[in-house]
Structure 1
Amino acid sequence: MDLIFHEKQEGQLCAKHCLNALLQGPYFTEFDLATIAKTIDDEERLKMAEGGENRAEYREFIEGPSFNMDDSGYFSIQVIANALKVWSLELIPFKSQNAIAEIARKDPTSQKCYICNYRDHWLTIRKIGNQWFNLNSLLSGPELISDTYLALFLAQLQEEGYSIFIINGELPACKSDQVLSTMRVEQTEKPHAIVEYGDRSSTEAVKGDSFTGEGDEESCIARAIAASLESELEDEQKQLQAAIAMSLESQ
């Protein structure tokens, strides 16, 4: 497990932790993400100004807080999307009608990695070598997820309110992937959850992040069936897609 890059939760910088876990290295700092967020803010400000700088809507926009970052370390979906574009990677909503998403819903193991968001928390689920790992920064270390239970884990996250995105594109080469392609990891003990996570509802975030198929199997399957009955496109997903599209249009 020491080979796998994993950042433990620092403040509320889960977006940074999520991206670095995905890329398997310390590629982004909070300052890098803040720079991306500021660029997006500036582009949104210019777009708003096109309608006239004397409008009440424009004044309210420029006087209000950034929608892309805040002092706590929160970063928006637009920031995540733009950071991934540096590596020619794109976000595809799991519930979208995109052909890749349709394949992923039928067989989640057909993809390489997912990032998930609930409220302000981001986490990564990635295949390293021939095995899947939960790289949630709220855990003290990587957590092994079997192929059999990956679909149930994703279903559980959806039921608990997480939005899931497929990462499409070629990930940078990493040592952990190379080494674990020739060997398998055995995990005898689950990593502990990090509960010191500010004053946000960390217990809610942790609740769905430590499942590997053990425990109350019938309950997990029931939750997975319930999640599978949800509509393919929810309002939240549509809003996130629109946000990503707006970000891409401003480039």
Structure 2
Amino acid sequence: MDAIFHEKQEGSLCAQHCLNNLLQGEYFTPVDLSSIAHQLDEEERMRMAEGGMGSDEYRTFLQQPSGNMDDSGFFSIQVISNALSVWGLELILFNSREYQSLMINPINEKAFICNYKEHWFTVRKLGQQWFNLNSLLTGPELISDTYLALFLAQLQQEGYSIFVIRGHLPECEAEQILGIMRVQQQQRPKLIGEDQAQTSAGRLATLSQTEIGFNVQSDAVDEDEALKRALALSRQDIDVEDEEADLRRAIQLSMQGAVLTNASTDSSSGRVRVDSKAEGELRGNNEMLTADELRKRRQAYFDRQQQPLQSNIPSQENTTSIENSSTEVDQQQKPSL
């Protein structure tokens, strides 16, 4: 069907597309149709002036916009009729009493022009087959003979005005080719807007799938990162808890004097040596703690607890004497009277 001339919709120039698709060639331009419309406007103005240029009807007519064309590119049925009259073609209303009285089968006609809400399109017979040449379609649509009457009836129910084309249409290449062969249409054309919408929908669907893939990967990465952070925090909390437990045990031992009781001081190293039992409670990793290190850990623990533990510890003076003999002297403090 490449031989069939088919103008697609541009702006609101459906009247131009309708005429050119009917005549199967670029016979009319917007300028041509505008000239016809201005000519019709002038003829109407002259008829209104016959009733008096000072009349209210004439003033009202001058204030009204043109009924034959507008700025969008719409042209009236009068413009189309005058344009076709150049080719000796005539328009007859399909559902008029005049035409219906003829009882003519639509299959035996040559072409129809259809109009609904300022949209015009052509249905024409080329060779022995009918085609819908609507400019809103992506291409010509093949209409079977049995479906033609139903198609026209459906258009009438939808509010279309249908005009029968009478006269000799100009010769065209499609008429010659389809006069000796018939064509088949595997896939019907779509509306131009529908085709663009499906293309846009396909692109959006592809984009959405891509974004979903990115989001899934991003969510997986976020979950992994969150898990890693949670594990790190848990390990840190465990380390803090272990350290605080060691400090609590060390403080308790030091406050009870258990460490000092069982300890001996090495003046050369400055380290406090504890017996095996105290050493196991004070440290679990076999490391030797200096007095300064022990004091710093105590202070850090006190700071974390945010309360002065020293105020809760009763002050007392412990005097420990280390004698060379194996005799220990117990000193008891009596309360002063």
Structure 2 counterpart of 1:33: 33
Equivalent residue for 2:126, pick from 108, 114, 128: 128
Does the residue aligned with 1:124 lie in a helix, a strand or coil?
Answer: strand
The AA in structure 2 aligned to 1:154 is L
Identity of aligned residues (%): 64
Q: Distance in 2 between matches of 1:142 and 1:185?
A: 12
Q: Select which of 173, 185, 188 maps to 1:187.
A: 185
Query: 2-side partners of 1:106 and 1:32: how far apart?
Result: 34
1:165 is matched with: 163
| 1:208-246 deviation per Cα after TM superposition (whole angstroms, max 9, x unaligned) | xxxxxxxxxxxxxxxxxxxxxxxxxxxxxxxxxxxxxxx
Offset of 1:195 from its aligned partner?
2.2
Q: RMSD of the TM alignment (CA)?
A: 1.2
- SS of equivalent residue, structure 1 residue 185: coil
Question: SS at the partner of 2:151?
Answer: helix
- SS of structure 1 residue aligned to 2:121: strand
- 5 Å-filtered alignment, 1:67-216, equals 67-99=67-99, 101-103=100-102, 106-195=104-193
Query: Higher helix share goes to which structure?
Result: 2
- CA shift at 1:64, angstroms? 1.5
Partner of 2:21: 21
CA distance in 1, matches of 2:88, 2:98: 18
Q: Equivalents in 2 of 1:167, 1:125: separation in Å? A: 10
AA of the residue aligned to 2:150? L
Q: Deviations over 1:13-71 (max 9, x none)?
A: 00000000100000000110000000000000000000001111111111211000000
SS for the counterpart of 1:61 is: helix
Q: Distance in 1 between matches of 2:104 and 2:154?
A: 16
Question: C-alpha displacement at 1:156, in angstroms?
Answer: 0.3
Judging changes above 3 Å, is the alpha-carbon distance between structure 1 residues 3 and 157 closer, same or farther for their aligned structure 2 residues? same
User: In the superposition, relative to structure 1, how do residues 4 and 102 fare at CA in structure 2: closer, same or farther (>3 Å)?
Assistant: farther
Deviations 1:119-170 (A, max 9, x none): 1000100000110000000001000000010000000000000000000000
Structure 1 stretches lacking a partner, 5+ long: 197-251
Q: Give the letter for the 1:136 counterpart.
A: N
Q: Distance in 2 between matches of 1:180 and 1:128?
A: 6
**Cα distance in structure 2, aligned partners of 1:56 and 1:75:** 27
For 1:86, the aligned partner's letter is: V
Structural mapping, 1:224-235, within 5 Å: none
Which amino acid letter does the alignment assign opposite residue 109 of structure 2? Q
Q: CA deviation at 1:110?
A: 1.0
What amino acid is aligned across from residue 23 of structure 2 in structure 1?
L
What SS does the corresponding residue of 2:114 show, helix, strand or coil? strand
Q: CA 1:148 to 1:77, structure 2 compared with 1: closer, same or farther past 3 Å?
A: same
Distance 1:102 1:149, change over 3 A: farther
Higher Cα Rg, which structure: 2
Matching residue of 1:63: 63
Equivalent in the alignment of 2:266 = none
Alpha-carbon offset, residue 106 of structure 1: 4.6
Equivalents in 1 of 2:72, 2:64: separation in Å? 16
Q: Residue 122 of structure 1: SS of its match in structure 2?
A: strand
Match of 1:164, SS? strand
Q: How many residues are paired up?
A: 194
How many Å separate the matches in 2 of 1:129 and 1:180? 5
Structure 2: which amino acid aligns with 1:163?
S
